[in-house]
Amino acid sequence: MDKKTRIAIIGGGPAGLSAAMYLEKKGYKNYVVYEKTDHVGGKCHSPVHDGKRYEMGAIMGVPSYYAVHDIEEFAGVTHDGPKLNRAYKNLDGSIDHRFDKKLTRIPHLLKLKSQVKKMGRLLETKYKGYDICGHLGVSEGRYEGFAVTPGREPVKGVNPNLKDLALPFNKFCEINGVPLVTEIWIGPFTSFGYGYFDEIPAAYVLKYLDFQTMMNFVNVNLWTWKDGTQSIYEALNKKIAHPALLNSKIEKIVRDGKKVTITVNGKEEVFDKLIITAPLQCGTIENPIAQGLDSYLDVTDKERELFSKIDFERYDTRAYIVEKGKYPDVSYYIMRNMEPDRLGHCMVYYRRWVDEPNQPIVTYTLRKHRDIGKESLEEYKARPEVPYEEAQKLVMEDVKGFGAPAEQKDGKDNVIYDGRWYYFPHVFPEDYAAGWYEKVEAMQGENNTFYAGEIMSFGDMDETCEYSHDLVERFF
């Protein structure tokens, strides 16, 4: 492709900014990044309270976040944040000792450890190719992409066993004789908003929590950033040749087969190529920060058919100030609240800063679940989610019971920030197995349009950035 090609990138989150970086590395500098909000970073959002940043979205990384490390090197930042740790609580507020060898069932822990080791062997052998970037070919029993290594060498091969990855993760674990591993994988998955193991294809779980990444989480070998995850992308935005244009309202995009015309803030701009990293979902999205792709793009029938199958998680974060003297000693996970019958309850309350009682605590909750065995996709979509306001009341009652009640201000809980996210866009097992990704990947480049962002790999920041690397390497 001509290096002078004019490229529009929709979205100034991790996917869009990393796409700009990788394009620039390959010599493409005639690009524009449009961001509709007044800041970059997307769900890597780190507001400031009392001089320190806290996290409303992404919290941490691990040493196997190679794309994020690319950005660190390019932008001149490093993982210099606070050391994180965690503990567990029961619903009554007592300490949950499930992983304490001295205070829990030793035989169960030994069996769990054995199954985790077996899982590692299975992923390395039976499911070779499971962890490469993206989903191309998985439903057909093959893999093609870039290896999960610092060098990300291109790999490809045939492995019919990969078709199993279309199964819900709990079924995947059952057929492989490792059902207990869900007790380990659930912590960094369900609690951070990625849904439940009986509804989400195993491919998503294992693209995000490949074995080396999972072991980093288990061993608390984590990266954080002093100025928050958002600072990574703020630094990147300052370093790229053309920083994102903030407050850009995309009103219309028209593709005529030769050029792409974008109407932004009332002005028309013409481009050769278009990279969309904003949500691809078509139709009405019941979320205050997201809009359907078809509200501004001249979507084709094929795009509408495929992108209408996308769903998302109703996932909320809430930052509040704790009552004086009740600041928690560590972040707490409530495993029982990570089960579908506890929708709307607090799954984690997260403490970022040690001995900083004026710093907010952040809570995490999910509000919808699909019971695949009992309801059709149509029934699921028609069924209402747990109302946002109801969930927030439950959450504040939960943290009070856990011993970290909110400070009262003017007779109300002192909540300083609410995040109601359009989170983890994905397709369900039946559409994954039917080749949804192969069909979307086959459209890459049609109408001079390329698709990136969360849905194309996974919704954590590294997989999102890694897919932008993959896209640029394949097509530019």
| C-alpha 86, offset from chain centre | 20
- What CA–CA distance (Å, rounded) separates 194 from 186? 10
Residue 391 in contact with residue 370, Cβ under 8 Å? no
- What CA–CA distance (Å, rounded) separates 63 from 77? 15
Eight-state DSSP code of residue 201: B
Q: What is the pLDDT along the chain (476 residues), one digit of tens a residue?
A: 899 999 999 999 999 999 999 999 999 999 999 999 999 999 999 999 999 999 999 999 999 999 999 999 999 999 999 999 999 999 999 999 988 877 667 888 999 999 999 999 999 999 999 999 999 999 999 999 998 888 899 999 999 999 999 999 999 999 999 999 999 999 999 999 999 999 999 999 999 999 999 999 999 999 999 999 999 999 999 999 999 999 999 999 999 999 999 999 999 999 999 999 999 999 989 898 899 999 999 999 999 999 999 999 999 999 999 999 999 999 999 999 999 999 999 999 999 999 899 999 999 999 999 999 899 888 998 999 999 999 999 999 999 999 999 999 999 999 999 999 999 999 999 999 999 999 999 999 999 999 999 999 999 999 999 999 999 999 99
What contacts 315, CB < 8 A, 6 or more positions away? 193, 364, 365, 366, 367, 421, 423, 424
Residue 231 in contact with residue 9, Cβ under 8 Å? no
- What CA–CA distance (Å, rounded) separates 445 from 2? 15
Which of 121, 118, 104 has the alpha carbon at shortest distance from 180? 118
Which of 314, 327, 275, 293 has the alpha carbon at shortest distance from 452? 275
Tokens describing residue 17: 């900014």
Residue 200 in contact with residue 373, Cβ under 8 Å? no
Residue 243: CB atoms within 10 A of its CB come to 17
Q: What is the pTM of this model?
A: 0.96
What domains, with CATH codes, occur in the chain? 7-78+224-310+427-475 (3.50.50.60), 102-218 (1.10.405.20), 316-424 (3.30.70.1990)
- What CA–CA distance (Å, rounded) separates 349 from 298? 42
**Residue 214: burial class (beta carbons within 10 Å; 0-12, 13-18, 19+):** buried
Residue 298 in contact with residue 259, Cβ under 8 Å? no
Amino acid in the structure at residue 94: S
Residue 138 in contact with residue 147, Cβ under 8 Å? no
**DSSP characters over 135-158:** -TTGGGTEEEEE-SSTT--EEEEE
SS3 label, residue 73:
helix
Residue 454 in contact with residue 290, Cβ under 8 Å? no
Counts of helices then strands in the chain (DSSP H, E): 14, 19
Strands 31-34 and 7-10: parallel
